[in-house]
Amino acid sequence: MEKSTEERKTEALQSIIHRQEARQAAIGERKQQRLEDADPGESARAFFVQFKEKSQQILTSLESSKMQDRAALAHHFDRLAREIRLLDQYLTDSIRFLPTYDVQTSQQQIRRLETILTETQDDILPKKKFAFKSRKQKPNGQKQVQAPVDLAVSTKAEMGSNTSLLDSFKLVVTRKSDATIKLTAPEVSGKDVEISSLRNCTVEIAGQPNALHMRDLKSCKVCIGPVSRSLLLHECTGCEFHIACQQLRIHTSTATDFHIHVTSKAIIEDCRDLRFAKYAWTYDGIEEDYRVSGLRRDVNNWDKVDDFNWLNPTEASPNWSIMPPGAQQHRILPQSE
């Protein structure tokens, strides 16, 4: 039976889509292979040249802020905030071949640029002063009650327009105990998420964060949807992580389980008693989040881990292991501080 015109059009469109998907997959494979084949020393040298040059350009622009036309200042500061964010992202993308000390030094330089931007912005465009106004008494003698504000989870939208422009690109979760924290795609997509100082907490993040940094978590369970680029983790103990990302780097952590989907090799340093298993966390919309994040579903190096403290190529590192099939997650223990 001869196919209708509509059926032929549909088949042609599907063929084009399949070719485009195959082309994108081939490009991704070549890109990943170039990253794996690159000489770390050469890559590090190229990074420092670019990082120093870009940092100096931003600093020079900051120093010239007072000479800008006042009407153009908002755009000027917004552009600098974006450039600092891109520099931070460049560092995050490069951590796989940089020594820890150099990563920390570069992070300090980025924080310095952020501080100078905020101080310059406040100096040239000072915040408006305000005073408390007397409140009108409600009928029947009822007092007007202000709803409490939780500053432990904050973004620019929640804190008001007088915060630094950099806050629009970040979401911070910190200083929580015995809490369940759920963040949705509109809250995290395209942002750098920072999580720190949590105790006995459960964290669920759906969406596509740009990058994620976690520090000082104790006895927590953290489940995260596809992260577009990198995840950096420090000082975590007795936790359980479900992570999907492009690059994963773990520092100074102990007695913790990782269920991961990672397209490059995970890196650990100054760690012990870590266990790894395949990522299996799911939620409504995760397939779309994978698509938007660009994280490849068909590449997962969950069982390939580089230990920077173990240089013997003929013996496996004693600091990490593969989680036995069917093992129960029993590492999380209640903790009081």
Cα–Cα distance measured from residue 329 to residue 277, given in angstroms and rounded to the nearest whole number:
11
Alpha helices in 141-240 (DSSP H): 156-159, 185-188
Cβ atoms of 258 and 279 within 8 Å: the answer is no
Cβ atoms of 254 and 272 within 8 Å: the answer is yes
Q: Is the pLDDT higher at 199 or at 77?
A: 199
> What are the φ/ψ torsions at residue 303 (nearest 5 degrees)?
-100, 10
Q: Is the pLDDT higher at 180 or at 75?
A: 180
Cα–Cα distance measured from residue 61 to residue 181, given in angstroms and rounded to the nearest whole number:
39
Cα–Cα distance measured from residue 281 to residue 1, given in angstroms and rounded to the nearest whole number:
46
Q: What does the pLDDT average to over 232-244?
A: 95
CA angle 199, 112, 101 (to 5 degrees): 70
Cβ atoms of 332 and 239 within 8 Å: the answer is yes
Query: Could you read off the pLDDT of 18-33 as tens digits, one per residue?
Result: 676 666 656 555 555 5
Most confident of 99-108, 174-183, 225-234: 174-183
Query: Could you read off the pLDDT of 147-191 as tens digits, one per residue?
Result: 333 434 444 333 333 333 444 567 889 999 999 999 998 888 888
* Residue among 132, 123, 51 at smallest CA distance from 91: 51
Cβ atoms of 98 and 120 within 8 Å: the answer is no
3-state secondary structure of 195: strand
Q: What is the pTM of this model?
A: 0.58
